Amino acid sequence: MAPIEAVQDELRAAGPDAVRIFLRFAVHLSAEDAAELERGIMALVERYVSTDEERVAEPAHGGMIVLHRLAE
């Protein structure tokens, strides 16, 4: 849970107006669908991470995405 606690610390330090989007969801996915969702999320994030040096003068943004199976 350390990564989640680290994000909580970042949010507390940044203040309540720092959150740009919060999305919590539950969907039913096959193993293939879950893998496709994971690939899509990773590709989107990588698009920005891989070009981050082009925007170092802009404000820094952080985030956390956790895709997990729910308890049965």
Q: What percent of the chain has pLDDT over 90?
A: 97
Per 3-state DSSP, the chain is made up of helix, strand and coil in percentages (nearest 5) of 55, 0, 45
**Per-residue pLDDT band at 37 (split at 50, 70, 90):** very high
Q: Has this prediction a pTM greater than 0.75?
A: yes
The predicted-structure confidence for 20-35, as pLDDT tens digits, reads as follows 999 999 999 999 999 9
What is the DSSP secondary structure assignment for residue 69, as one 8-state letter? P
